[in-house]
């Protein structure tokens, strides 16, 4: 295959991303105007509800599918490590600073002769930058990732999952994506918000390509509002190469 042919999928993904960014920019400017238009109601863009879309809150688990047992209670505010030996579980939200903290723990375990080879995830997501950083640590250390039955991997967590050298998810696990949330309290003009979105999405796309995940996964993510989560089907997990063939 020629270099030109191999570059076409990446080029198409980049063109699609630019189109999405233009749409976001237009939407943000409309929202900016709507918030300041005298007598106007606030403009919102809720995600379209459907069988694959559910309400999302980082401190709560979405409703489990019927017949699927799952843990209850709020999500820890930062990733908690459980387990010893070759396999551990990370549970909770991905807080700023978690990447460095978890990577340090993995290094300590390797230095004491008990390296981690597999990480099970159960997370509602959180800091995208920490997810990308820790995902790269997984890949550099040769660590596999997994999501067990009843566990979830949402928002920024799939980027963490993508770092695994091999990636497996139980049929009763939930893996979901949506738009990145930048905070309603940020007082920024629309053009500055668009610049932040473009920079963040470019970093995510580069990471997905680096991890051999199809960047087209950003399609359903960008179509889903921050307060909703789109649960990927088993076919989508395969098509986007988010899960890898079992060895």
pTM of model > 0.85:
no
Confidence at residue 90, expressed as pLDDT on a 0 to 100 scale: 98
Could you list the beta-strand ranges (E) of the chain: 53-55, 80-82, 87-94, 118-126, 144-147, 152-154, 167-169, 174-177, 228-231
Contact 59, 74 (CB under 8 A): yes
Angle at 14 between CA 138 and CA 181, to 5 degrees: 60
> What does the pLDDT profile of the chain (247 residues) look like in tens digits?
555 455 555 556 554 555 555 454 444 433 333 333 333 332 223 344 455 899 998 888 775 555 555 566 789 999 999 999 999 999 999 999 999 999 999 999 999 999 999 999 999 999 999 999 999 999 999 999 999 999 999 999 999 999 999 999 999 999 999 997 544 434 445 555 567 667 778 899 999 999 999 999 999 999 999 999 999 999 999 999 999 998 6
Confidence at residue 72, expressed as pLDDT on a 0 to 100 scale: 62
Domain annotation for the chain: domains and CATH numbers: 3-60+73-239 (3.90.226.10)
Confidence at residue 199, expressed as pLDDT on a 0 to 100 scale: 79
Confidence at residue 68, expressed as pLDDT on a 0 to 100 scale: 54
Confidence at residue 62, expressed as pLDDT on a 0 to 100 scale: 72
Angle at 231 between CA 173 and CA 124, to 5 degrees: 70
Confidence at residue 139, expressed as pLDDT on a 0 to 100 scale: 98
Round to whole Å and give the CA distance between 228 and 75: 17
């Amino acid at each position: 295959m020629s270099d030109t042919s191999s570059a076409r999928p990446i080029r198409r993904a980049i063109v699609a991303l630019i189109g999405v960014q233009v749409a976001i920019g237009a939407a943000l400017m409309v929202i900016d105007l709507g918030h300041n238009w005298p007598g106007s109601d606030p403009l919102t863009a809720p995600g379209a509800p459907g069988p694959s879309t559910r309400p999302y809150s980082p401190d709560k688990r979405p409703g489990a599918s019927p017949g699927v047992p799952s843990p209850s209670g709020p999500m820890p505010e930062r990733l908690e490590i459980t387990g010893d030996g070759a396999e551990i579980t990370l549970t909770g939200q991905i807080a700023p600073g978690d990447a460095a903290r978890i990577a340090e723990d993995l290094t300590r375990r390797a230095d004491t002769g008990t390296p981690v080879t597999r990480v099970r995830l159960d997370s509602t997501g959180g800091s995208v930058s920490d997810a990308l950083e820790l995902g790269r640590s997984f890949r550099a250390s040769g660590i596999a990732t997994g999501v067990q039955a009843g566990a979830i991997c949402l928002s920024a967590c799939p980027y963490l999952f993508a770092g695994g050298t091999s990636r497996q998810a139980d049929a009763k696990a939930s893996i979901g994506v949506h738009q990145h949330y930048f905070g309603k309290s940020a007082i920024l003009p629309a053009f500055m918000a668009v610049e932040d979105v473009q920079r963040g999405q470019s970093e995510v796309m580069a990471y997905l390509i680096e991890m051999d995940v199809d960047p087209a996964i950003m399609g359903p993510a960008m179509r889903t509002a921050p307060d909703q989560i789109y649960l990927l089907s088993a076919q989508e997990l395969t098509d986007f190469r988010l899960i890898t063939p079992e060895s």
